[in-house]
Amino acid sequence: MFFISFFPVSWHGTMYDYCFTLIYINAALTMDKYRKQILFTAFVLMILELGSTWMNLTIFSYISKALNIVFFVYIVFNLIYMIANSKKVNTKVILDSINGYLLLGFVFSLMLAVAMLYDSNAFKFPEGLILDTNNQVDSFSVYLYYGLVTLSTLGYGDIVPTMPFSKSLAILTSISGQLYIAIIIAMLVGKFASQKNNEQEN
């Protein structure tokens, strides 16, 4: 998904659709419990997302993005729960924690897209950025960029929240990113250290 911006702009829509498909399937397959039900939900949401893109209907776009946020929040919380309850720190747990962090950024990127659908003046974008006739950003890569830059608290400042709700979203995004690293990574390091101590004692 990070490499899509290197391709021609006319390809972005289709490439993001394929990436969404892979992310949905991957997110569903990471779950240990209720895998079939989650995979079915992922396919339904994927079809709704593709349908809203192809038919260009605003109401479907709202519903699709709202359901996507709920789905990814559920996946992220389940990943965090699985990581917290893991007895040993192995490659799968580390990859799940990375996946959880990136999916968290994806959730906030979707929230940004919904905020822009709600109010096209929610964020101030740099001059020269391609906007459509409704003053919406043309590519999801911009939302993904802002979501991950804010989650990591890098904050270049090129995209600025202008409304109270968009400022609250920016604060929530940056605090969530810091708490994820402080709590989840600290938990993994602690489990890994105690695992090493136990191995040395045995």
**What integer pLDDT is reported at residue 169 of this predicted model?**
93
Task: Please give the domain boundaries of the chain with CATH numbers for all domains.
Answer: 4-201 (1.10.287.70)
Separation of alpha carbons 46 and 49, rounded Å = 5
Give 124-164 pLDDT, tens digit per residue.
888 766 565 555 666 677 888 899 999 999 888 888 999 99
pLDDT tens digits, 15-38? 776 776 677 667 667 666 677 777
pTM of the prediction?
Answer: 0.76
CA distance 105 to 124: 20
Q: Angle between the 140-151 and 91-118 helix axes, to the nearest 10 degrees?
A: 120
Residues 132 and 13: their CA atoms lie apart, in Å, by 14
